[in-house]
Copies of this chain bind each other. A is one copy, B any other.
């Protein structure tokens, strides 16, 4: 049997359940009828790494050395490109690209491609459900701006009482409560009268796990960045 032509490296562990969700969506997005038609993947899911949001606002140790160790490990193991199953980690995208030595498929590029395809060219206001670190990093806002899309953010109050608690619930596997909190935050983004978002990008890999826990009225308005990244990886692999 011939060797696989391309191997995808997955930098995960931020968090572990989000990594599994990404790997699952990678399978769902791959047209395959038997094992051998699926994408060869090596996943580095080592969660012993500093939390990303506090590091971005200068209040915690940088996770960059551990992320680089992960990418170097993936490269030595045979990966030819990397997907990072964590939005906030993309704050260090340029450093990881420069020092990691592998191409990295950017999750926000993937999400914006899906947004334009799924929500249509006429979309003008898009909500972003994300960590404070991702919001501060600004890589979603700059991509939205390139498409002349205004970014609608959660209020500080919603961020601290709904979004962050939802993410923390996913990390301790309490998906029912996470769902209630994240759905509430999504509804608030959609309902700010004239300023309301027409669609929402789920820009934190824990958030889709929360929203998908059960069906809801907001799900049809949401773009899942995790699934978008999975689609981009499938396209990368099939372009061999």
- List residues 34-65 of chain A with CB under 8 A from any CB of chain B: 34-51, 61
A interface: dominant SS:
loop
Is A42 a contact of B73 with CB atoms below 8 Å? yes
Chain B, Cβ-Cβ closest to A14? B35
Interface positions of A from 144 to 189, Cβ below 8 Å from B? 168, 171-173
Complex Cα distance, B23 from A49, in Å, reads: 19
Contacts of A2 in B (CB 8 A): 48
The answer to whether A1 and B35 touch (CB under 8 A), given A43-B41, A173-B28, is no
Interface size class of A (residues with CB under 8 A): 35 or more
Interface residues of A in 45-92 (CB under 8 A from B): 45-51, 61, 66, 73, 76-78
Q: Determine whether the beta carbon of A47 is less than 8 Å from that of B38.
A: yes
Is the beta-carbon distance between B43 and A43 smaller than 8 angstroms?
yes
A133 within 8 A of B: no
Alpha-carbon distance A76/B48, docked complex (angstroms): 19
